[in-house]
Structure 1
Amino acid sequence: MNPSLHGIIPPMVTPLRENGDLDTHAHKRLITYLLRGGVHGIFLLGTTGEGPSLDHGLRKQIVSEACTVINKRVPTLVCITDTSFKETLALAQHAKEAGADYVVLASPYYFPISQEEFQEYLVALAPRLPLPFLIYNMPSCTKIHLAIETVKKAKALGAIGIKDSSGNRAYLLSLLQEFRDDPSFSIITGNEALLPEMMQKGGCGAVAGGANFFPKLFVALYDACIANDRDAVARHLERVNWISNTIYNVGKQESKYVKGTKCTLSVMGICNDYAAPPIGQFNSTERNQIIRYLEEFSYKDEYTIK
């Protein structure tokens, strides 16, 4: 296992003000909350962080301020995915200068591209990246599902791991099988429910969206997996699945996962729930549903961070 890349790495939301600026106080408060929750790393500007919806100046501000607060206490990962090759490199360079540890790269979005075209893109980009990089499989947002051969090509070009957010169990298991003899290549799931199974087969951890609001729950699940405590795994996994069936399923829009995550943090008093266009906020009915779910969960008991 790559010792620097393991465990629970929240894809941190980006606290915004109503005018779209970074809420710097809430940003620091959220980072502090996550660190106190025992997370093993923090992932900036991913899907949950609304990275593609933010202007380049704001992205750089987020990275700079986050790295200052984190201060190397855990690894900082920065998503540099962009439609522009030049801007991708610029954000990667800024991440290095700010003190980040890794960059994370999905394929450029908007234009559908082939596996061969993405491999050629990596050939051009990888040697110019100033930090170690992971690739990011996010087919629902990028129009391409990274083939195993493409992942192998990325590894040959220097990738130290992959974050798989396809939600495809068979694909994740095929990754674990393909790279089973190379523990230095970190395989991290974006699907929270698959964490126990993938850990049993050599996976390294999860970029878990729910760890934004319940970091202690996800860290407890990870620790139980490491200890092979089946009873604890089952108990914590039941709570994780409950989140998927409740908080992530409020509302009818495709954006409900991001909205639900931000709304939950807002109800908990950690940051507000303003989102970058085109994503908006929950209406009052949806927000009240989140409130009821949190009361049902009794989050102030077992998973309170003191």
Structure 2
Amino acid sequence: MSNQYEEIKQKLRGSITPVITPFDSDHEIDFVKQSELIEFQLANGTHGISVTGTSGEPSSMTTEERVQVMENAARTIDGRVPFAPGTGSTNHDETIYLTQKAQEIGADAAMVIVPYYNKPNQKALYKHFKTVADSVDIPIIVYNIPGRTAKNLEVETLAQLAKDCPNIIGVKESNKDFEHVNRVLLNCGKDFLLFSGIELLCYPMLAIGGAGSISATANVEPKKVAEMHDAWFAGDVERAQNLHFELMRLNDVLFMDTNPAPVKAALGMMDKIEPVLRLPMDLPTDDVQKVIRQTLIDYNLLTNTKPVS
């Protein structure tokens, strides 16, 4: 593997926050708020930034809007931490276009999701990812999230891609099958970057040799998510475990509805954004929002600590 990929592999570690896409009251992208959210992340120790992944509502945006979000993020980050935007789509050519755009704007890597809705077979998935990887020189992080795509990228397919494509350097596994993620490192090699996209598996994946997590919860509580990784890499296993369990209730609450609806509701309560999603996504029910607000109060994440009525 070339030195350029080895260098970024050493940097892409820890908590990589998949920053949400803020919309204003007219449902237009709020680029000022996006920059503020990224600064909030960096001020709280986040180790890397991603945008336009699942948490960024990419399927609710045009291709050009996705490029604009990536460009604004790249300008805001300005090389301070690694940047790995989501460039995948259900459309093959669009995925290549967005991945090439990520390279053009100086992204450190691109995160490419298994195509959703299409349900391609493993042979087709191999051809899709190989063609995308061959179209660019930047590293690729494959994004496997069978709960949203209705298709699992099998370990054997991923291992073949890792062997045949030097720039496929890792995978984000939003996969609750912990046997599967163990076999990823067994078959792809322990130097293959394994990121957790399942909040309750962020710590367990570190324990088997994972590189970190790409966790929606870090949008709301970036400091503790980053600290859990810092503690683990510093060898403070007890603190990492304690933070894992401390974050568990917040993780559960932020997934009481489809991501990123609860996260956006929480960030709205924290006065970070207008809590707006584009249809067909919408905010959680009032009952769920009451639970979110009380949880934020319990975690000392709200300045307004009035009890929920």
1:259 counterpart letter in structure 2: A
CA distance in 2, matches of 1:83, 1:200: 33
CA distance in 2, matches of 1:238, 1:300: 21
Please give the residue correspondences for 1:117-128 in structure 2 after superposition, counting only pairs within 5 Å: 117-128=124-135
Q: 1:72 to 1:297 in 2, by over 3 A?
A: same
Aligned with residue 260 of structure 1, among 262, 269, 278: 262
Aligned with residue 34 of structure 2, among 9, 19, 27: 27
Please give the residue correspondences for 1:1-306 in structure 2 after superposition, counting only pairs within 5 Å: 2-155=9-162, 156-158=164-166, 159-180=168-189, 182-183=190-191, 185-249=192-256, 253=257, 255=258, 257-299=259-301
CA distance in 2, matches of 1:93, 1:193: 33
CA distance in 2, matches of 1:137, 1:245: 21
Question: What is the CA deviation profile of residues 225-246 of structure 1, one whole-angstrom value per residue up to 9, with x for unaligned ones?
Answer: 1123233123211222111233
Q: 1:130 to 1:177 in 2, by over 3 A?
A: closer
CA distance in 1, matches of 2:302, 2:292: 15
CA distance in 2, matches of 1:120, 1:261: 34
Could you tell me which residue of structure 1 aligns to residue 3 of structure 2?
Answer: none
Structure 2 unaligned spans of 5+? 1-5, 304-309
Does the CA contact (< 8 Å) of 1:176 and 1:198 recur in 2? no
CA distance in 1, matches of 2:248, 2:287: 23
How many angstroms does 1:295 deviate by?
A: 1.1
Q: 1:291 to 1:300 in 2, by over 3 A?
A: closer
CA distance in 1, matches of 2:177, 2:24: 35
Secondary structure of 2:143's counterpart equals strand
CA distance in 2, matches of 1:153, 1:177: 13
CA distance in 2, matches of 1:126, 1:291: 42
CA distance in 1, matches of 2:160, 2:188: 13
Does the CA contact (< 8 Å) of 2:172 and 2:197 recur in 1? yes
Higher relative CO (CA 8 A, sep ≥ 6), structure 1 or 2?
Answer: 1
Identity %: 26
Could you tell me which residue of structure 2 aligns to residue 304 of structure 1?
Answer: none
Could you tell me which residue of structure 1 aligns to residue 306 of structure 2?
Answer: none
CA distance in 1, matches of 2:298, 2:234: 29
Question: What is the CA deviation profile of residues 143-199 of structure 1, one whole-angstrom value per residue up to 9, with x for unaligned ones?
Answer: 21111111112212230111101122111111122234x42x211111222222222
Secondary structure of 1:134's counterpart equals strand
1:123 counterpart letter in structure 2: K
- Report the TM-score, using the length of structure 2 for normalisation: 0.89
Secondary structure of 2:28's counterpart equals coil
Cα root mean square deviation, aligned: 1.8
CA distance in 1, matches of 2:93, 2:289: 40
Secondary structure of 1:82's counterpart equals coil
CA distance in 1, matches of 2:150, 2:291: 33
Question: What is the CA deviation profile of residues 221-266 of structure 1, one whole-angstrom value per residue up to 9, with x for unaligned ones?
Answer: 11121123233123211222111233322xxx5x2x3111111111
1:121 counterpart letter in structure 2: H
- Report the TM-score, using the length of structure 1 for normalisation: 0.90
1:157 counterpart letter in structure 2: C
CA distance in 1, matches of 2:131, 2:255: 38
CA distance in 2, matches of 1:197, 1:111: 31
CA distance in 2, matches of 1:110, 1:225: 37
How many angstroms does 1:300 deviate by?
A: 5.9
2:10 counterpart letter in structure 1: P
How many angstroms does 1:294 deviate by?
A: 1.1
